Chain A
Amino acid sequence: MIPISYYLFLSLALFSIGMIGVMTRRNIIIMLMCVELMLNSVNLLLVAFSKMHHAQNLGTDVGIDGQMLVLFIMVVAAAEVAIGLSIMILFYRKMYNVDVKSLNRLKH
């Protein structure tokens, strides 16, 4: 049994990578992928926690909902990706790039 803290640190590390990626990268696609990384690190953590809680209360339903949330996160992530990509295509077709530096029309 791998201790929960390993999962915790792994997923926090992944999460931080994603977060830093969103904040520092300039390519919108990569930012989107970093967001996905964040979501998936959460999925990992949720599954780990769910397993942990289940192991603590064997024979009950405890811990099931963690995995349920994972499924929901996947759906939501898909929906977000769908809308995000649509927006990005819209953007790309106007600007011919996907650089956040081009997002400067609303600056004052």
Chain B
Amino acid sequence: MNPEFWSLIGEKAALAGIMIGFALVVAMYSTWAERKVAAYIQDRRGPDRAGWGGLLQPLADGGKLFFKEEITPRHAEKFLFILGPTLAMILACMTGAVIPWSTGFEWGDRIIVPQIADINVGFLYILGVLSLGVYGIMLGSWASNNKWSLMGGLRAASQIISYELPMGIALITILMISGTLKLGGIVEQQMDGYWNIILQPIGFIIFLVCAFAETNRTPFDLPEAENELIGGYHSEYSSMKLGFFLFAEYINIFISSVIIATIYFGGYDIPFVNDAKLTESIGMNWMAVLHFLSLFIKACFFIFVFMWVRWTIPRFRYDQLMDLGWKKLLPLALANMLITGLVILWFNN
């Protein structure tokens, strides 16, 4: 078992490294894209000095964050202060572990599936790690010993946990349809039949809204609402610690987009194409690349949606946010779940 085991470990380590790197790059360019999209929507130019079309801007930003002075406020709880962003970043990196990026490709004599961990509770894993994300924010905000930070942290915490409920229930309907908790299984089930967006439009909407809330994006960005709370939970942060919070947010956006694409839009499925036939004609490896591109394009679209919404819809008031989560989405999700169950059972028999 030993050599096989170690090679597997090596393979997974490589995959993990690639995924983290990829996520970082995507996150970096998301910031650029964000500014570009914003500029486009507001009829401006956006960043255009560093590199062609400002393409080097994210690198410059990153470098700036790297070399900035690090300030830890006097009254802060030092350890937790550092732990906050660290945790946020680590967890953001870890969310993607169960996502199937594409079908397997051949590497020598073995088939490598670009999915870091194909665990049978993939679903729950995502939910679990997502909800852990709130710890980073909470710890950071509390440790800062700043009133704005604390407010921001509290808001973040209650917002994230509030929206987790409808999200969880919305996901249950997917489970009912697919009957498995493995993300790979869900994708495969969609490849054969309809995408879940067709079966679950309401569930999709709920999930989308919740994803916005979970990533603290506008219109739900109350935890860092700069005109109310300065910077919210990261008011006191500087240097790379601040960078981690920002990066974590963008990584989360990316991963959320991937998850939305995976769950509701067929994952790496290429629409209107018979995958099996295509695989025969162009070979496994090319197919994997196509699949990956398919997923990536879908994800990019959703990243765009995230930005689009940010610059279109104004920020909610906090009570409106809570009302939406608890009073609208939660019953809606429950009803959706019941109806889905009824319909499926009805057609099954």
Classify A-B as touching or not with yes or no (CB < 8 A): no
